[in-house]
A and B are shown apart, each in its own frame.
Chain A
């Protein structure tokens, strides 16, 4: 596949994975937790490097999953002992992220990792970091990692669809029915951590939040059915990746930045023109009512 093709594939995989996981974050009103985890996984990545002494994807994923779930756990712990949930997120997020940054700057000399890279990602280098087995070129490592995480996410959602659905809509009822709501919560946080770290190389910690939240928020405006919302969100993720790539080549700017901008533009258009929830349709509906009553 061409250089361009790999970048588009990477971007699309980021868009699909983030788009799907993001839907659940929005419905559970946990967008802020996505922001937190997308930053604290940095500690997981650095920690994984310091322990394993390698930058292999699998160690990164394990480290990120552990720190991601720890983040969710600490937030839950503070919240249940009386700290406001947004304050709890703020405290945990900044502390763990700061530890990550300090460790990173301490060992920066030895690691092919730097703060800029972690925050912004560098999708342009991805096609050159190739997975080779027995001398056979299997394509970029990042694509394999993103693909594996996507498959994992899809399996989890497929297996636990109704449990995830009811614990998002009505957690009290879910508990009363005997569904382990807390376990489902940590499962989702695990998925979020894996998705974030797999997307890290591509779009970085800050822009991954855009890819997590914006496609889901767009899909939310376009449908009244959860399964459809997941599909639309994935499609918006892919569209953002493609549109972002072409914007970036035309204006010769950052690809990941353009992807986030493209997602934002798609959201803005939907916000105004959505046939059911858009500003325009609601305005027209109101006009019609006024005319009727007049």
Chain B
């Protein structure tokens, strides 16, 4: 069964359409890049799948059932800039939030939850920062805390919104090895990404998006000059540069 199926999803902000009739499904155990220009609705697509923005129409299924019934199967890494890092809390506490969906009402995180959260921090190389106030972490370290929190969700499908933006080389490497580890465990990861140069290197599949779905499929077949032209429209100088890059690879 497909981990994610999206059927005819349309999203509008104040009557202005952001996504129009997007339909696709993805296979299990792949790293999938969601690619498209600024304002193409990449983040909105993830948010619409997770129910964070209302859908004007359309349905979303996670392993064949509506998202609301499958929350525990889904992990989420929001954009780093979406929260206030001056919030009075430490890295471990943020990672523990990933457990909240499993803990249930009226209960506190157990010792087991804390141990699990610490192991997630360890996986992203942040264990020694567990008690560090989050505002004292660098951008890359903050991103790794968010990844650890998603790991703490212990999910089978992950959605990540621009995890590579503004991070240092070490963090980028850590994220890549983490993505590959998740893939090796048979998990499916959808990543909003906008650095075209690294697409071929990082992702098995790509979803090209610009308000509508342009194409989806294995990177080799789908990440082509023709599809990119359709996705990015007439930005020729830009596309010529990309053309050169693609030819180089």
Question: Which residue numbers of A lie inside 8 Å of B, CB to CB?
Answer: 27, 29, 82, 159, 161-163, 165-166, 168-170, 172-179, 220, 223-226, 228-229
Residues of A within 8 A of B88 (CB): 27, 220, 223-226, 228-229
Residues of B within 8 A of A161 (CB): 108
Residues of A within 8 A of B149 (CB): 173
Chain A residue at smallest Cβ distance from B159 = A176
Measured in the bound complex, the distance between the Cα atoms of B149 and A173 in whole Å is 10
Tell me the smallest distance from the CB of B147 to a CB of chain A, in Å. 13
Q: State whether B50 touches A170 (Cβ < 8 A).
A: no
Given A162-B100, A226-B89, A177:B78 Cβ within 8 A: no
Q: State whether B108 touches A176 (Cβ < 8 A).
A: no
Question: Which residue numbers of B lie inside 8 Å of A, CB to CB?
Answer: 14, 47, 50-52, 68, 71, 74, 76, 78, 82-84, 87-90, 94, 97, 100-101, 103, 105-106, 108-109, 133, 135, 149
Residues of A within 8 A of B90 (CB): 224-225
Contact of A162 (CB < 8 Å), options: B14, B51, B82, B103 = B103
Residues of B within 8 A of A163 (CB): 100, 105
Chain B residue at smallest Cβ distance from A229 = B88
Measured in the bound complex, the distance between the Cα atoms of B97 and A112 in whole Å is 49
Q: State whether B133 touches A224 (Cβ < 8 A).
A: yes
A sample of 9 inter-chain contacts (CB < 8 A) reads: A162-B109, A165-B97, A169-B84, A169-B87, A170-B78, A173-B97, A223-B88, A224-B90, A225-B88
Chain A residue at smallest Cβ distance from B54 = A80
Q: State whether A176 touches B103 (Cβ < 8 A).
A: no
Measured in the bound complex, the distance between the Cα atoms of B100 and A73 in whole Å is 27
Measured in the bound complex, the distance between the Cα atoms of B52 and A220 in whole Å is 29
Measured in the bound complex, the distance between the Cα atoms of B51 and A137 in whole Å is 55
Q: State whether A176 touches B89 (Cβ < 8 A).
A: no
Q: State whether B47 touches A172 (Cβ < 8 A).
A: yes
Measured in the bound complex, the distance between the Cα atoms of B77 and A172 in whole Å is 10
Chain B residue at smallest Cβ distance from A219 = B88
Tell me the smallest distance from the CB of B71 to a CB of chain A, in Å. 5
Tell me the smallest distance from the CB of B120 to a CB of chain A, in Å. 15
Which of A82, A163, A168, A169 is most buried by chain B, counting CB atoms within 10 A of its CB?
Answer: A169
Residues of B within 8 A of A170 (CB): 78, 82-83, 97
Q: State whether B68 touches A178 (Cβ < 8 A).
A: yes
Chain B residue at smallest Cβ distance from A175 = B52
Residues of A within 8 A of B109 (CB): 162
Given A172-B52, A225-B90, A166:B97 Cβ within 8 A: yes
Residues of A within 8 A of B78 (CB): 170, 172-173
Residues of A within 8 A of B97 (CB): 162, 165-166, 169-170, 173
Residues of B within 8 A of A178 (CB): 68, 71, 101
Tell me the smallest distance from the CB of A28 to a CB of chain B, in Å. 10
Tell me the smallest distance from the CB of B190 to a CB of chain A, in Å. 14
Contact of B100 (CB < 8 Å), options: A166, A223, A229 = A166
Q: State whether A176 touches B87 (Cβ < 8 A).
A: no
Tell me the smallest distance from the CB of B166 to a CB of chain A, in Å. 18
Contact of B89 (CB < 8 Å), options: A175, A177, A224 = A224
Measured in the bound complex, the distance between the Cα atoms of B93 and A76 in whole Å is 29
Chain B residue at smallest Cβ distance from A158 = B106
Contact of B76 (CB < 8 Å), options: A168, A173, A223, A228 = A173
Measured in the bound complex, the distance between the Cα atoms of B108 and A223 in whole Å is 22
Residues of B within 8 A of A162 (CB): 97, 100, 103, 108-109
